[in-house]
Chains A and B, each alone.
Chain A
Amino acid sequence: MSSNNHADDTFHQDEMVPPQVVGAFAAEIEIARADIESSGFQFGDPDTAPVGRSRQHRAALWVSVGVAAFAVVILGVGVGLWPLLPASHSGAADRYSDGIPTTWNGQPVLRGEDAIVKAKSATDDTPFYVGLWASPNQAHGSGSDQLSTELDGTCRDMSSVGDQAGIPSPNLAAAIRFNTASMTPGPVIVNVHAHDAAAADCTAGHRQECDGVMVGDQIVWNGDSGTAPQPVSPADVARVFGVQESDLQNLCQSLPGTRAYPLGDGYGSMVMLFPTSAAVAAVAPQAAAQASADGSASSTSSGLAECAFNSDEGPMAVIWFARANVLVEVNRPAALAPTSDSLLNQVPQLLRTLPDH
């Protein structure tokens, strides 16, 4: 594939790309990838892609000069290409652009604001499905048994849910409760209901708000191959960083669908695997922008709030590394000389062995 390095460039100053442009370009690619998968697009098959004006124009010309037979030849070529094509994603046409199915058991899977509005306007506890991204919560996300306590208290919201991969949604976090104890970070479809019985225990001032909260009965789907982190997979991270795929740690940040693996250096350093590269660009734009220069450059600022980490060795410094959908946070006592740190020296080399697209 083409290189991403800037070896042939001598004008880095002029090549400074605004972080939002970096993030937007990464998002464009992810959107295109999702659109191609969800459309079931197959090249050589004119039925699977929107037809542009150019093709409409050409088609009209062909018909007007009576060369319809040529279309038969084109069709034949198209059929001939089929053996060269990968199999389309199973059920891809029934998925949102981020891979979450649009229906479950024949019922619609609602997303974001649609689900919130549905719950707030519900008049009973008829269940429905909501699709979102989530990671296990440490303290919240309980079942309905704690609903009233959490709704009436100050500790109300779930901490790691979002309508977009890797990006928290405060509105959604305030509007839903479900048990995340046994889930894997990633997308979920949750069977929820409003007007939970526990809302009766809410104070009068909160009753209407409590009735409108989505309470989860069951996680019915927790991702599949179509929503697995990419381009770097959990197996890639495990292989390169020597961590266990199952050795996930809770994140202090609310990054739904993001996996974090401890690096075991005693300072809380970790490697975070986001669902997509676009998610890294969105939540850690500065680190992603730095990484775009050579694939894994370090940054002392990520745009993402680092976890506070207590140390007896004085103030801590955080160094970020990013590549594709991987973000590495290395915590070190600020007094240590970075150049003498083996982990800091190793991380860029390890990252460069990961796929970047």
Chain B
Amino acid sequence: MRGDGRFVGAGDRMTPESDSNSGDAFGRALMAEAPIVLAVARATLMHESDAWDVLQTTLEIAIKRRDQLRNPLALRAWLLTIESRECFKLRRRLKRMVSLDDSVAEFRFSSGSQFDVVAVREALDELPPRTRQAVVLRHLAGLSVAEVASASGTSVNTVRSQLKTGLRRLREESA
């Protein structure tokens, strides 16, 4: 990345190169963040195919709005802000739809599934959506509290309260 905040270069190392390479670098940067975006979408929506849907939409929007990314160092927070809005819109849209399937809690468990993934997903599912979103953005995606607040469109104090509540319930569940 360059000091002026534009993605440039080819290969894994960002180096000053011509602008013609900036698309490649931005695409690579997006794909590097894609696992985080997908994991957050899964934990937030608790629906496998909807999570992929949101991942796809988030990356499409990021491509279209790439000029709005002021600080490339904040790419993840920027992507997750887009994703949070898409998740919110999706949840709102689904409320209006009559679902013909019962796969809201559907997950595709890959052969790599392990540890307490299932138990933690179940515990997360018990949290209110906003609280779950705060916990996931903070502790799965590694955003700061301020970034979580910005992504969620709420205040820092609200996020802190949500995190306190969410973590307390997760601790109780895992005790």
Minimum-distance CB pairs A-B, first 7: A52-B53, A84-B27, A97-B110, A24-B120, A33-B35, A43-B59, A52-B50
A141 → chain B closest CB, angstroms: 23
Instruction: Please give me the residue from chain B that is nearest to A55 by CB atom.
Output: B53
The answer on a CB contact under 8 Å between A21 and B120 is yes
Name, among B28, B53, B114, B142, the residue most crowded by chain A CB atoms within 10 Å (CB to CB): B114
A-B contact pairs, 11 of them (CB 8 A): A3-B144, A8-B145, A11-B160, A21-B139, A21-B174, A28-B117, A31-B113, A44-B59, A49-B52, A55-B56, A96-B112
A-B contact count (CB 8 A): 197
Question: 0/1 per residue, B104-116, Cβ < 8 Å to A?
Answer: 0000101111111
B residues in contact (CB < 8 Å) with A: 23-24, 26-28, 30-31, 33-36, 38-39, 42-43, 47-56, 59-60, 63, 73-77, 90, 93-94, 97, 99, 108, 110-117, 119-121, 123, 139-147, 156, 160, 163-164, 167-168, 170-171, 174
Q: Report how far A4 CA is from B171 CA in the complex, Å.
A: 21
Given A4-B142, A54-B50, A84-B24: A24 and B112 interface contact (C-beta under 8 Å): no
Do A15 and B143 contact each other (CB < 8 Å), given the known contacts A23-B115, A43-B59, A98-B112? no
Interface of A with B (CB < 8 Å)?
Answer: 1-9, 11, 14-18, 20-25, 27-36, 38, 41, 43-44, 46, 49-55, 57, 77, 81, 83-86, 96-98, 111-112, 164-165, 167, 278, 281-282, 292, 357
**B111 near A97: Cβ-Cβ < 8 Å:** yes
Complex CA distance for A55 and B113, rounded to whole angstroms: 27
The binding surface of chain B is classed by DSSP as helix
How far apart are the CA atoms of A6 and B139 in the complex, in Å?
A: 11
Q: Are B75 and A16 in contact (CB under 8 A)?
A: no
Q: How far is the CB of B24 from chain A (nearest CB, A)?
A: 7
Question: Which one of A7, A55, A98 has the greatest number of beta carbons of chain B within 10 Å?
Answer: A55
